[in-house]
Amino acid sequence: MLLFALLIGSMGAGYGQAEDTAGPITLVIHGGAGTLKKKNMTAEQEKAYKDKIAEALTIGYGILENGGSALDAVIHSIVILENSPLFNAGKGAVFTHTGENELDASIMDGRNREAGAVAGVRTIKNPILAARAVMEQSPHVLLSGEGAQEFARNAGIEIVDPSYFYTEWRYKSLQRAIEEEKGGSGNVKTVDEKFGTVGVVALDQEGNLAAGTSTGGTTNKRFGRIGDSPVIGAGTYADNNSCAVSSTGDGEYFIRGVVAYDIAAKVKYLNMDLKEAARTVIHEDLIELGGSGGVICLDRQGNYAMDFNTEGMYRGVKQKGKALQVLIY
């Protein structure tokens, strides 16, 4: 019996259980992965994206630096990105086939694996705040559509007229997509057609992890389509005993591959290095399915990965003792 107990104990230790000593406070952000080519982006556009990611990093890291929680850092950073028209989340959400904006978001707390999400909402200014309210103020994980909006309203989350989400360039992207669908030329290129989902992962002074993701979905989507961003285990996952993950890319493939959880499971059960787990899932497993995109990942020791199989991913990181870094290609 003693030998059996020792064996079980040694197995448990190899399953990536949280260690007593956590790494340095860290915040990692993505602003979407996709066909990002330097030649298609002006210097002004590149600066605008980098500046906004840097702003979100600064706000979130400041919370961590002042002893705030990973959860708060994730939320406040995502709100900054949701309020910017640059990204496909919140204000900058893309349009559905019928010319509307349907937004999704999710949040997960690595301390207890509590999670909340909303999907297909049209009037919630900051869906990530509604996702947190679902996690903290309801017995549920995922609410959608009108019900999610009613819940958010009752929870005191700011509600806006749907016109708030209108941006001219996103509307023009919809028109191009519709023309392409009809067999038109569709040869006009934009900086951002297929990407822009935002996500954040954080590690705080208490050694707790959190992850969050927010998106407007895909241009020209129909039938109430919901991607991976509000799906716990696909678009978002956080567990102090493994890692925190936020995904961006072809949502259907991330759902089928349970990408966020797959990375966490490799870390937890195979004791795989975080970067190797991310690389394996994004550059092997996801590609084998036919999907493209990327992830940001962070473990309790402060190891992080920003991996993608596309031409670029808006991304940045700030870790204690190191300079803030923002990258695109």
φ, ψ at 241 (rounded to 5°):
-85, 0
- Residues forming a β-bridge with 237: 245
Active-site hit among 197, 218, 236, 310:
197
φ, ψ at 326 (rounded to 5°):
-130, 130
- Residues forming a β-bridge with 114: 109
Using DSSP's 3-state secondary structure scheme, residue 238 falls into strand
Query: From the CA atom positions of the chain, what is the Rg in Å?
Result: 19
Catalytic residue status for 26 = no
Both tokens of 162, joined, read 């749907």
Using DSSP's 3-state secondary structure scheme, residue 268 falls into helix
Using DSSP's 3-state secondary structure scheme, residue 259 falls into helix
Alpha carbon distances (Å) from 256 to 53, 115, 138, 149, 198? 29, 20, 27, 27, 20
Burial of 301 (0-12, 13-18, 19+ CB in 10 A): middle
Using DSSP's 3-state secondary structure scheme, residue 297 falls into strand
The catalytic residues are 197
